[in-house]
Structure 1
């Protein structure tokens, strides 16, 4: 099988994520896309923290309706900082004969060699970069591919673009009492309002 891993804090999941998830499944012809909320991202500090259980619940409200996509709580269960090489090792033990595709945004694609144990990541998964919006966005990642291949990575630059909406923008809107109905699915908006998240 062709199995994708799409990680992030999903704090909260938003319309851009949903659009991207559908595009990734289609372009990579995946049999399964695992959406992996992190317990504690190693490179992010967030104000007004929301529990992993709430982030998983919001993801499930959206992902359960997308064919071939499913939530994995693999990093939530592990706890602590989420390192990608550990998650891939665990996934490889679950799917030992399948092809793993690691999907990431442009900034991560351009710096992945600085991550912890990149050689393990390169051994276990094909690295798939999602460009920023704009004419130079995709070319920037394509120009990076020869270097990544020279250090052992198999790469693919997707013909998609990162959404302009961001989770931090949504959290800020909530803090300021602004509407988020155009930014997140209705069921996620209802969940946030009912639980009083990000206030």
Structure 2
């Protein structure tokens, strides 16, 4: 068999990985193509996602029966850095009758002489280079190490850019998995928020997870809800108004500062593919609360109000919420009511229904 190999962290796998595999299968007439996620990449210090999660996302991304995920490196009990030479030695020994084509981008091909046992690798397998944006399409190493060169459109997709917020490079099913496992979302939201709002979101995520853990709710859901609760807080006003008209017309007359609780839920669902109704409901309730608060919703509501970054001593409130979130939530409603009365701020009529249910009753 003619088998293509592509190693890497795949943290996460992106559309470019799948596209280049398809190109290689076609141009090199391959019978199979194996993705080999590394356990300990010698070129990188750490991975955000675990080996288990990275393999799971690869399985989701694969859309061709000839493609598969080879766990040879991830299943290794050795926690040292993974070097390609060792993986290829194992594969060639186990499959002596197969012909392997080892792919790498031109970024790596241009530095291939630095790889451990580079010459030996070039003698064991057929090396294949593909174009990547920002790197030359030719290099002396191609001749020195007998590369085949794919004539592909330069690949610009990057796992680093996905983690920095470019969601166009990741397939929706993979993004759904990542979001629902709390992977990368803390950095993917960063371009959407000011630094102060971003740090607030991370702080609220941590506190919501803490409250959830203390009160029998799912801390992962708490973390996800906390990260996403203000993701639409700083949307352009005209865009926010357009979205409110289209998706939440019943709330269009609500105060502008609270639109984001509905819009953040929308963005979480439709742009980050978060489909857990409990998380989405918690986000929708985090500013005004509602008469149908879940435990998770109470955790987020209180974490948002008690965030230590707000600049006042909230330690007593945090301790109460960790002990009893129902009591902590009622306490926050009381404080909101008393503060609003003291400052002569208008209070929405629905608040009194909420107050009656969770405080008076």
Provide TM-score, normalisation by structure 2: 0.48
CA offsets 1:128-159 (integer angstroms, 9 cap, x no match): 1112347x832x24x5433x1xxxx3321111
**2:9 is equivalent to residue 6 of structure 1:** no
1:92 aligns with 2:118: no
Determine the C-alpha separation between the residues in 1 that align with 2:132 and 2:170. 20
Q: Structure 1 or 2: larger helix share?
A: 2
Q: Distance in 1 between matches of 2:58 and 2:132?
A: 23
> Of residues 65, 68, 74 in structure 1, which corresponds to 2:66?
68
Aligned to 1:120: 120
Q: CA deviation at 1:41?
A: 0.7
How far residue 160 of structure 1 moved from its aligned partner, in angstroms, is: 1.3
What are the Cα deviations for residues 143-180 of structure 1, in whole angstroms up to 9, with x where unaligned?
5433x1xxxx332111114421210111111xxxxx72
SS at match of 1:74: coil
Larger Rg: 2
Q: How does 1:113-192 map to 2 (within 5 A)?
A: 113-133=113-133, 137-138=136-137, 140-141=138-139, 143-146=140-143, 148=144, 153-173=145-165, 180=167, 182-192=168-178
Residue 21 of structure 1: CA displacement? 1.4
C-alpha distance in structure 2 between counterparts of 1:24 and 1:45, whole Å: 29
CA offsets 1:57-76 (integer angstroms, 9 cap, x no match)? 0000111x213111001110
Greater relative contact order, per chain length (Cα 8 Å cut-off, separation 6+): 1
Q: State TM-score, norm by structure 1.
A: 0.85
8 Å Cα contact 1:105-1:162 kept in structure 2: no
Please state how far the C-alpha of 1:46 moved relative to its aligned partner: 4.3
User: How many pairs align?
Assistant: 183
Q: Does structure 2 conserve the Cα–Cα contact (< 8 Å) formed by 1:20 and 1:162?
A: no
Q: Which residue of 2 aligns with 1:176?
A: none
Gaps of 5+ in 1: 174-178
Secondary structure of 2:100's aligned partner: strand
* Aligned mates of 2:172, 2:59 — CA distance in 1: 13
Q: Is 1:193 aligned to residue 193 of structure 2?
A: no
Distance 2:46 2:164 in 1: 11
- Asked whether the 8 Å contact 2:6–2:103 carries over to 1, the reply is yes
C-alpha contact 1:13 1:58 (8 A) present in aligned 2: yes
Q: Name the Cα RMSD after superposition.
A: 1.8
Q: State the SS of the aligned residue for 1:34.
A: strand
> Distance in 2 between the 1:132 and 1:59 partners?
20
Alpha-carbon distance, 1:115 to partner: 0.9
Q: Distance in 2 between matches of 1:164 and 1:107?
A: 12
Identify if the C-alpha distance between structure 1 residues 6 and 162 changes in structure 2 by more than 3 Å, giving closer, same or farther.
Answer: farther
Aligned to 1:40, the other structure's residue is in SS state coil
> Could you say which structure has the higher strand fraction?
1
Shift of 1:120: 2.3
